[in-house]
Structure 1
Amino acid sequence: MADIVVLFDFDKTIIDCDSDNWVVDELGFTDLFNELLPTMPWNSLIDKMMGELHARGRTIEEIADVLKRAPVHPRIVPAIKSIHALGCDLRVVSDANLFFIETILNHLGIRECFSEINTNPGFVDEEGRLRILPFHDFKSSSHGCGLCPPNMCKGVVIERIQASVSAEGKKKRFIYLGDGSGDYCPSLKLLEGDFVMPRKNYPVWDLICRNPMLLKAGIHEWTDGEELERVLLRLINTIITEEKIKSGQLISSDCKLQNIALSAHEARLPALRVPQ
């Protein structure tokens, strides 16, 4: 099994839209959403919108059907299946919610590829209404991060995963993929030898571009599902090659080994091209 943990954001990373907006827009509640948006935090607003949908007769089945139509780039599912087959540990770290994410992953046939989903709780209550709760109960206490929304600090999640892996006595490399401003904090938690894959020209890309030197991880951008697949597989192969060289599993002539090491070094260099 590859000693690689691949962490995926969900909205605009695995799927090509924001799942909250997708459900609200597809079911015709955009105006109400926009009216309420200035009055409360996003996570609380989505819970309220699910209450409005229920009050107006929209069923869980209708919400699920809408989720199953969410746009997904055709290379995303093959990419996830490929890296899972390579033995990578795949996890979701998302500010969406569990009901939305599991509905879509099950529909795509890739739920079993992920060992863990870190997200806001989402469940159907006894009345058949979808409830969306915060990952961190920000009403009782703050997670203390000034970079993240009150309901979820992804940096805290990454630190917990890092500590769990360390407690197992294992040395693993991390690859983090995301698009939004909430993906910046966890990117800062990655270590040298890890990689971050920001979606180019999205908020996390803009934040990283302000000062790439703040990140210890190598930076490799992507634009769509096809490039995500290509870059991710290249990075995983780079890590596997490097680890085999270190462990002596890769037996070859000195010349060939030197060329492999050089290629791995070049692939490890940050690929971020900061806009002028």
Structure 2
Amino acid sequence: MASEIVIIFDFDRTLIDDDSDRWVIKGMGLTHLFNQLRPILSWTSLMDRMVKELHSQGRTVKDIAECLKGVPLHQRTAAAIKSAHALGCDLKVVSDANKFYIETILKHHGLYDCFSEIITNPTLVDEHGRLQIFPYNDLASPHGCHLCPSNMCKGIVIKRIQASIAPHREAKFIYLGDGNGDFCPILKLGKGDRALPRKHYPLWELIRSNQEFVEAEVHEWCNGEELEHILLALIDRISGEDIKKAPVDESR
């Protein structure tokens, strides 16, 4: 039986080439307020406070969406995503950004339908038209992971995905990330999986400093061209490994 290939993307500075939260803060003139509140609010609460401020200024959800459409996404990254999807891989986003920002950007670039699941901080637009951002993890019920921020443990998310697949079929995981919060899920990968840290970013440094704890095969990348080349080569290699393992029909 061929292995399913599950590709998990972090979002900020991995799938896109910037930070979506900071893009809105800077692009919509919130830097001063952000700097004032940063020391006293958790990140997700701070992002919710930022969009609340925009609403109080008369800025709409549509205005935020227009700002997000300018976030840089490398054309080769987009091509890699489309190719991986066309090859039958199961693509997911696991991110500490938020649902509205991620969906807006993916839809703008025609990539939304390539992903089977987006796991991130939820959002809603209330009856007054204000965007609200909530933590993925209920802060009243701590997840207990010292490696991850209080609102989301990506390691727990990865274990849930692995458990949902394991009873039914074999899967090989490819995880692409850049930040400190991506180290915990990397530790949940096994020897048949691949970790793709962005070179010279915090995740890359953490893996280099803790190689003895990482079972997955590591492939570093710098930009969209390298991401596309490495990702598609790995998909081809994993598919080739499955062909070699397939039983030979000797009745012919």
Q: TM over 0.5: same fold?
A: yes
User: For the residues of structure 1 that align with 2:48 and 2:211, how far apart are their CA atoms?
Assistant: 36
Query: What letter matches 2:199 in structure 1?
Result: K
Query: What letter matches 1:83 in structure 2?
Result: A
The ranges of structure 1 where at least 4 consecutive aligned residues each deviate by more than 4 angstroms after the TM superposition are: none
Preserved contact between residue 122 and residue 133 of structure 1 (Cα < 8 Å): yes
1:265 maps to none
What value does the CA root-mean-square deviation take over the aligned residues? 1.4
User: For the residues of structure 1 that align with 2:123 and 2:76, how far apart are their CA atoms?
Assistant: 27
The total of aligned residue pairs comes to 249
* Greater RCO, CA 8 A, separation 6+: 2
2:37 maps to 36
User: For the residues of structure 2 that align with 1:248 and 1:224, how far apart are their CA atoms?
Assistant: 38
Query: What letter matches 1:111 in structure 2?
Result: Y
Deviations 1:41-69 (A, max 9, x none): 10110011110110111111110000111
Preserved contact between residue 3 and residue 88 of structure 1 (Cα < 8 Å): yes
**Cα–Cα, structure 1 residues 137 and 104, in superposed 2: closer, same or farther, change >3 Å?**
same
Superposition TM-score, scaled by structure 1 size: 0.88
1:163 maps to 163
User: For the residues of structure 1 that align with 2:112 and 2:94, how far apart are their CA atoms?
Assistant: 14
Identity %: 57
User: For the residues of structure 2 that align with 1:22 and 1:42, how far apart are their CA atoms?
Assistant: 15
2:176 maps to 177
Superposition TM-score, scaled by structure 2 size: 0.96
Task: Tell me the SS of whatever aligns to 1:91.
Answer: strand
**Unpaired runs of 5+ in structure 1?**
251-276
Alignment map for 1:10-49 (pairs within 5 Å): 10-49=11-50
1:85 maps to 86
1:74 maps to 75
Task: Tell me the SS of whatever aligns to 2:38.
Answer: helix
Deviations 1:110-137 (A, max 9, x none): 1110000000001211111110000001
User: For the residues of structure 2 that align with 1:122 and 1:190, how far apart are their CA atoms?
Assistant: 29
User: For the residues of structure 2 that align with 1:89 and 1:96, how far apart are their CA atoms?
Assistant: 21
1:264 maps to none
Preserved contact between residue 135 and residue 151 of structure 2 (Cα < 8 Å): yes
Task: Tell me the SS of whatever aligns to 1:39.
Answer: coil
Deviations 1:227-271 (A, max 9, x none): 000010111111000011001479xxxxxxxxxxxxxxxxxxxxx
**Cα–Cα, structure 1 residues 14 and 7, in superposed 2: closer, same or farther, change >3 Å?**
same
**Unpaired runs of 5+ in structure 2?**
none
